[in-house]
Structure 1
Amino acid sequence: MGTPVRAGTGAVRDRWPLCSPAVPRRLLALFASAPLALVALAGCGSEEQGDTPELVLERAGDDAEPPGDAPPPTFPNTATTNTVRVAGRDATEDAAGVAAAVFPATSESDRPDAVVLVDEDDWQGGVAASVLTSDAIGAPILLTEGDELPAVTAGTLARLDPPGSAAAEDAQVIRIGDAVPRPEDRQDAVISGDDAFELAAEIDRFSAEAAGEPSENVVLASVEEAAFAMPAAAWAARSGDAVLFTEKDALPEATIAALEEHDRPDVYVLGPESVISKTVERELDDVAGQVRRIEGEDAVETAVEFARYDTGSFGWALLTPGHNFTLASTSRPLDAAVAATLATNGTFAPLLLTDDVSELPTALRSYFLDIQPGFEENPNRGVYNRVWILGDQATVSLAVQSEVDDLTELIAVQGEGAPPDDAPAPDSPNDGSSPSDRGPTFGDFADDPSLDGGSTDAVPPSDDGPIGPGGIPAPQGPGVPP
């Protein structure tokens, strides 16, 4: 696949040879900005017919006027049959994309009551604040940069135009930390603390007041190991359970005080003993009810174990097909917070993780195989999985997206009356011939890297203004900085 070329003042063109084997199967391009226009579509043919056939997509110039009902430019821009990518080049763009997908803001019924603002460098604040996206307040998370609102954040906030949350004393904006800028002409609330432990405890108190009572369960996450803490964000959004932080070998006073206010909640320690030690577990005995640990050998496995986990009153319990998931990279911890909105609002997707740009981790592949949908006779009676991928191709490659798509596809499975395992395949000769005599099979091509045309190159920055996910201009509107 060719690398997109962006000119400083000209058009944006992605050139995709339609007949090339490099184009991943079932890849669909969803272009969410109305100024995108189809310029040319050439038919497939031989070299004698002229230049290589290609589909050329071009964004109209600055003089073009989008129709009034044009969808926001930050909608996810790339999808396959079973995946949707929010293609932000950073977590700030991903936040705008997720907010636009969940809250189109075309009427009063599809806009949030409030929005949470978190600094782009505060992953602990983002993970803890994910509880504010749960039902009590339902606020999506957007990101700020120092003392400024990035253009994509300001534009998204202007488009969402939250009316204010009654559960948050009519605040339209909830700022996580004193340093987060206050948007003009918006009623706001601020939650602050001297460190990550105190901030998480204050977020917990704010959430408990909005919900009417503290949560019965608490997730205890590492303040030092972001990748192990990331899956807590989705569960907090789904359940309303608090996320508090600990050091590896000591339970901080602020966390102890917060747990005491819950009146001996059940505490779920997230990560192995190398991340949160047995010493912390013993300290929890004085302030917690039952203490359980959710763990894997690494962050990827821990996220999978969390998705499987079930006590009857806590855990995703996703052991069968028919569910939504989000997939983020361990290299971008704040993607966990901005994806939290996808764990509620009818999606209810746990967060899965990858620690490799170009290859799907073994633990994740195995999990997807375990829950792959299947049907015996009628596919219309089947259930489906869908995976939301956070980040551009420099974060999660197109090859990984394509593999995830394959692993989540509804497939035919053997039912009762299927031929025995030792029976010859219907199209295979029962003559003792070797596989090499029968020609290549799917397995012969499955691991051939030459068949993957995906690019993991990052999209270069643009000179003509703020750019949203997928190279689409950031939204403009009231409050957008020049």
Structure 2
Amino acid sequence: MKKVLMIGTIALILSAALSGCQAGNKNSDTAANETKGTAITELWVGTKNTTRINTSDPVQAAVLVSRTLWTAKTDNNRPSSVVLTDVSNWQIAAASTDLIHHPSNGPVLFFDKENVPSVTLEELKRLKPLGAEGNDNIQIVIVGPVASSVEEQLNSLDMKIDKIEGDDPAAIAQAIDAYYAKAAGELPQAVIIGSMDSPEYTLPAVNWIAHMPEPLLYVKKGEIPAATAEALNKREGKAAIYVLGPDSMISSKIEEELKAYGSVTRIAGDNPYENAIAFAQYKDRNNDFGWGITTPGHNFSFLTTDSTMLAIAAAPFSHLGKHAPLIFTDKDGLPDSVMEYMMNVQPKFQKSPAEGPYNHAWITGGNGAVSASAQSVIDDMLEISPAAGGNPHAGH
């Protein structure tokens, strides 16, 4: 009974707060609900192997991800600080996910150009961030350009706030790298280089940098921005650089130029689905960079390639709980490459399915983003099955 009451209370809070929330990438089901003034009654939709964050509004999704991971009932499950950034700028928001990691240990929440949505304000009040040790007990870090009206709303919360200001993604990424190094007391030698022009190839990085301290730095297809070069120079020629994406996104010329700053490894696939899988599978045994997921017993975070801000909202799923890399899917089912990957890591049992291991997936987006049938297919592909083949429920 307590669980029903808790979810009902959250639904009332979110439905009231989201009546004016129109930011970010939404699809038709969410927009239709908001137009009619109705609330999303099922905030989480679960199957035996999947859990859906059931909204395609990035502002709301970020709050639901936060509520899922930080229950905020005791100090042990409160964040140290929260990252706040503009929902309309994916490059800055993606780089800011580096601050999800310790010592911040908190979610990314969104504001829009002139306003902090009431659902975000309510979530900040619920979380009551503890203040990050090692970062002067900061409770909120604002990343990117911010309007005075937004600052006024946040100041009313009486929390300790810091800012990483600017509107150039490469410069902001450099500033985040320096900010994290100061707060954590170390400069990570490994870095991910992503394209600031191609979110569908760059976004798999956000789950890793939320999970580990390595930053995301930006290049354009044919140019290394000065801010990125400066950040790499701080590694004094010893950077371990991982270029994420194919030559069509980040040129071989840029790859060669990056070798002036350290070792360079490209992780790539021919399309966004294969690119995300390549990143999930990659592991550098020399420094343990990368997920290296090639066997059963793991968690995954599924989104569609056009759910840019939802992917950033869901990045904390790699930080706490069943740590999950990002995998792209289609609205109505799994692309062939993703189906093959899921088959390769499908759990198998010898005598009983109680043996484990088990797979799980987070799905972020309403039915207009990832259909109910697609969720069912994902659930089936994660189900533990007999090693000998046949009925997956044999042995019960």
TM-score exceeds 0.5: yes
Aligned to 1:211: 184
Aligned to 1:342: 317
Aligned to 2:218: 245
Aligned to 1:445: none
CA offsets, 1:90-117, max 9 Å, x none? 1111100100000011122111011100
Alignment of 1:118-197 (within 5 A): 118-179=85-146, 181-182=150-151, 183=154, 184=156, 185-197=158-170
CA offsets, 1:31-77, max 9 Å, x none? 9523699xxxxxxxxxxxxxxxxxxxxxxxxxxxxxxxxxxx99952
Question: Counterparts of 1:386 and 1:236 in 2: how far apart (Å)?
Answer: 21
Question: Counterparts of 1:36 and 1:413 in 2: how far apart (Å)?
Answer: 42
Alignment of 1:249-268 (within 5 A): 249-263=222-236, 264-268=238-242
The SS at the match of 1:166 is coil
Query: Is the counterpart of residue 301 in structure 1 residue 301 in structure 2?
Result: no
Gap regions ≥5 residues in structure 1: 1-28, 38-72, 416-424, 427-482
**Residue of 185, 195, 198 corresponding to 1:222:** 195
**Residue of 58, 63, 88 corresponding to 2:55:** 88
The SS at the match of 2:242 is strand
Letter in structure 2 aligned against 1:304: I
Letter in structure 1 aligned against 2:195: S
Alignment of 1:357-396 (within 5 A): 357-396=331-370
Instruction: Give the % identical residues.
Output: 34
**Residue of 50, 60, 67 corresponding to 1:100:** 67
Question: Counterparts of 2:225 and 2:375 in 1: how far apart (Å)?
Answer: 40
**Residue of 247, 256, 277 corresponding to 1:282:** 256
Query: Is the counterpart of residue 271 in structure 1 residue 245 in structure 2?
Result: yes
Report how far residue 89 of structure 1 moved. Answer: 2.6
CA offsets, 1:298-331, max 9 Å, x none? 1111000100001112110100010111111221
Q: Which has the larger radius of gyration?
A: 1
TM-score (norm 2): 0.85
Question: Counterparts of 2:255 and 2:183 in 1: how far apart (Å)?
Answer: 29
Q: Is the 8 A contact 2:300 2:360 kept in 1?
A: yes
Compared with structure 1, are the counterparts of its residues 321 and 147 closer, same or farther at alpha carbon in structure 2 (3 Å cutoff)? same
Q: Is the 8 A contact 1:308 1:319 kept in 2?
A: yes
Alignment of 1:409-428 (within 5 A): 409-414=383-388
Report how far residue 148 of structure 1 moved. Answer: 0.9
Question: Counterparts of 2:292 and 2:132 in 1: how far apart (Å)?
Answer: 31
CA offsets, 1:126-180, max 9 Å, x none? 1111111112321210011112111211111111011211222211110011316
Q: Is the 8 A contact 2:78 2:128 kept in 1?
A: yes
Query: Is the counterpart of residue 319 in structure 1 residue 294 in structure 2?
Result: yes
Letter in structure 2 aligned against 1:320: T
Compared with structure 1, are the counterparts of its residues 284 and 35 closer, same or farther at alpha carbon in structure 2 (3 Å cutoff)? closer
Letter in structure 2 aligned against 1:286: A
Letter in structure 2 aligned against 1:372: Q
Aligned residues: 352
The SS at the match of 1:190 is strand
Gap regions ≥5 residues in structure 2: 12-39, 392-396
Question: Counterparts of 2:67 and 2:293 in 1: how far apart (Å)?
Answer: 27
Question: Counterparts of 1:102 and 1:96 in 2: how far apart (Å)?
Answer: 10
TM-score (norm 1): 0.70
Question: Cα RMSD (Å) of the superposition?
Answer: 2.2
Question: Counterparts of 2:51 and 2:163 in 1: how far apart (Å)?
Answer: 33
Question: Counterparts of 2:177 and 2:341 in 1: how far apart (Å)?
Answer: 32
Q: Is the 8 A contact 1:238 1:344 kept in 2?
A: yes
